[in-house]
Amino acid sequence: MMELSEDDLAAVSTLRSAVMRLSRRLRHQRVDESLSPTEMSVLGTLARCGSATPGELARKEHVQPPSMTRIVAMLEGKGLVRRDPHPDDRRQVVVRQTEQAEAMLEKSRSLRNAWLAQLVEGLDEKERAVLREAAPVLEKLAHL
């Protein structure tokens, strides 16, 4: 693996700081203020990955299984997920998002996209071109 140049390392530092600030600001653009960031993250994971057992969700979200059990119970109480019997193991359940969760997530995505689009409108055409070029690279970094 090749070493990064000083310019690359400076860009990494700038990128880290900018991504953290932007992420924090995006998290504040929420449809449902009653949900914690972790609860929103669990719903997002279910939307991206499909149904999962509480144990699988705990691993994906990097929380302890008892914590995930509480999170799922809270989400179920709000009508955002349901627990179905596991098809192969009757000792387990499979957590699925509800239509209410899907609608809320779509509304949240729309709100965040609109907020971000408003920021992008403030950029000049050259900056927008750079952003269009950088978006796939940032997406790749997010999934490495």
pLDDT tens for each residue of 115-128: 999 999 999 999 99
Fold of 29-142: Arc Repressor Mutant, subunit A (1.10.10)
The pLDDT, as a whole number, for residue 26 is: 87
pTM: 0.76
Please say whether the dihedral angle defined by the alpha carbons of residues 66, 92, 95 and 77, taken in this order, is positive or negative: negative
Q: Residue 2 above 80 pLDDT?
A: no
Closest Cα to residue 73, out of 50, 92, 95?
95
The pLDDT, as a whole number, for residue 63 is: 94
- 81 in Cβ contact with 97 (< 8 Å): yes
Spans of all domains in the chain: 29-142
- Render pLDDT for 82-132 as a digit per residue (tens, 0 to 9): 999 988 888 889 999 999 999 999 998 999 999 999 999 999 999 999 999
End-to-end Cα spacing for the chain: 16
In total, the chain counts a number of residues equal to 144
**How far is the C-alpha of 37 from the C-alpha of 129, rounded, in Å?**
32
